[in-house]
Amino acid sequence: MWIKNLWKFLRAISGDDAYEVYLNNFSKCTNHLNSNPLSRKDFYSQKLQQKWNKINRCC
């Protein structure tokens, strides 16, 4: 059981599950009823752009 939790934690912390989280949030969010979610590839590249457009690594 703890191995499963550790794996879940690792996936969350590394952003491995980010797309699934995004899809999950997307389906719950009514604002998006008229549009389709991004593909996995587009989501990933958009996420990287956001992540590296600010200071997020330090000394």
Does the CA dihedral 18-19-21-22 come out positive or negative?
Answer: positive
37 vs 24: CA distance, rounded Å: 10
* Minimum separation from the CB atom of position 14 to other proteins (A): 5
Contact letters (x/-) for other proteins, 1-40, by CB under 8 A? --------xxxxxxxx-xx--x--xx--x----------x
The footprint of other proteins (CB under 8 A) covers 9-16, 18-19, 22, 25-26, 29, 40-41, 43-45, 47-59
